[in-house]
Amino acid sequence: MKPDLYLLADKLEKTGNLTDEEFAGILLCDDPDLFECLAAKARSKKEEHYEKKVFIRGLIEFTSYCRNNCYYCGIRRDNRKAARYRLSKDEILSCCDTGYSLGFRTFVLQGGEDPYYTDDIMAGIVGDIRDRYPDCAITLSIGEREKHSYQRLADAGADRYLLRHETADRDHYGSLHPEEMSFDHRMKCLWELRKAGYTVGCGMMIGSPGQNTEHLIKDLKFIKEFEPEMVGMGPFIPHKDTAFADEKAGSTQLTLKLISVIRLMLPKALIPATTALGTLDPAGREKGLMAGANVLMPNLSPVSVRKKYSLYDNKICTGEEAAECIRCLKERVSKTGYEIVTDRGDPA
Ligand code: SAH
């Protein structure tokens, strides 16, 4: 590896930032030595704050209805072949019960942007989870809503919110979404979530169609400026019933490199090794942890609906019960030298 790239890795480790050209140098180099050097630094940064802990979040995919039409996503409105379902409040609470007894202390409610879940309904669900589990964190991942709605759900007891910005480049955003969706609105939502008091997560797909190094540098700069507490990144994976069916999937290696880079930029961030990463590469989640990730998000949705929440093809873990998933993950994680813990896992 070129010595100047080692120097860049050192600079990133020490200062948490690089110039655009320096970021480009790192992103464009596919030398495995650079990759391992960044990963080693990322692991030690992570361990300074979180030791060997890996936090688990129970993901409840509660609706596959969506009013949006994101070109990459399998549950987009215009996909007539998508199987649609909604979970009732009781079904959601029963997922939480199962999760709680398995040791989960964070529940993530994720779904399409489904108008059925009005503020009243959503606040009712959040409020009931809050009453039943005062010791748990409640994370929402339900897309773009208005400021008063974010506030109302925070008041009902939601603590955290995941809203990937998807890409920090306006034109690239325009090529991934129909005209009716707005880059400015998505970004505005992130700032409003912050103001409403949430612990906020942003993030992007790696290798989405049309994405180039310049776009990724913009993502890194946005992430540096926004300083999210959580950063969700997974490879883009095509879905057969979308316009991007024939596009190439993102790469494991680039996803891992970005996990390491972001760990060095935001040492205390909560970064998941995503299901998409585990789908693209059978050892993807373990590799994610070794690259600096410290969160896993196993599925708590009822097995009967798992396959219907199909954002991309061949998604893993759609067949097993939650108990089976967590057993499997514990084994996988212990082989990496890390250890799943069951506290809420708030940011350090
Ligand atoms: N409706 C919510 C939740 C979206 S699903 C929202 O708008 O935030 C969660 C994430 O899955 C998305 O933010 C997107 O980054 C990712 N995703 C969607 N389709 C994907 C695909 N084909 N490959 C990989 N990730 C995908």
For 284, the enclosing helix (H) or strand (E) is helix 284-290
Question: 74 with 241: CB under 8 angstroms?
Answer: yes
d(CA 46, CA 41): 9
pTM (whole model) above 0.85: yes
Residues 198-222 have pLDDT tens digits of 999 999 999 999 999 999 999 999 9
d(CA 182, CA 285): 32
Nearest protein CA to atom 1 of ligand 1, as residue: 112
Q: Which fold has domain 3-341?
A: TIM Barrel (3.20.20)
Mutate to test the pocket of ligand 1, among 162, 164, 255 (most ligand atoms within 8 A of CB): 164
pLDDT of amino acid 1 = 65
Task: Looking at the CA of residue 164, tell me the nearest atom of ligand 1.
Answer: 13
Residue 26's nearest CA partner among 183, 187, 213 is: 213
Radius of gyration of the chain (CA): 19
Cα 29 off chain centre by? 25
Chain length of the chain: 348
Nearest protein CA to atom 18 of ligand 1, as residue: 73
Residues 272-313 have pLDDT tens digits of 999 999 999 999 999 999 999 999 999 999 999 999 999 999
Question: 237 with 313: CB under 8 angstroms?
Answer: yes
d(CA 113, CA 106): 21
Q: Cα of 311 to ligand 1 centre, how many Å?
A: 7
Q: Cα of 256 to ligand 1 centre, how many Å?
A: 18
Nearest protein CA to atom 12 of ligand 1, as residue: 164
Residues 23-72 have pLDDT tens digits of 999 999 999 999 999 999 999 999 999 999 999 999 999 999 999 999 99
Interaxial angle between packed helices 147-156 and 119-132, expressed in degrees from 0 to 180 and rounded to the nearest 10? 20
For 141, the enclosing helix (H) or strand (E) is strand 137-141
Ligand 1 pocket, residues with Cβ under 6 angstroms: 72-73, 110, 112-113, 141-143, 163-164, 166, 205, 234, 236-237, 239, 276, 311-312
Query: Within a 13 Å sphere around the CA of 16, how many CA atoms are in the beta-carbon half?
Result: 11
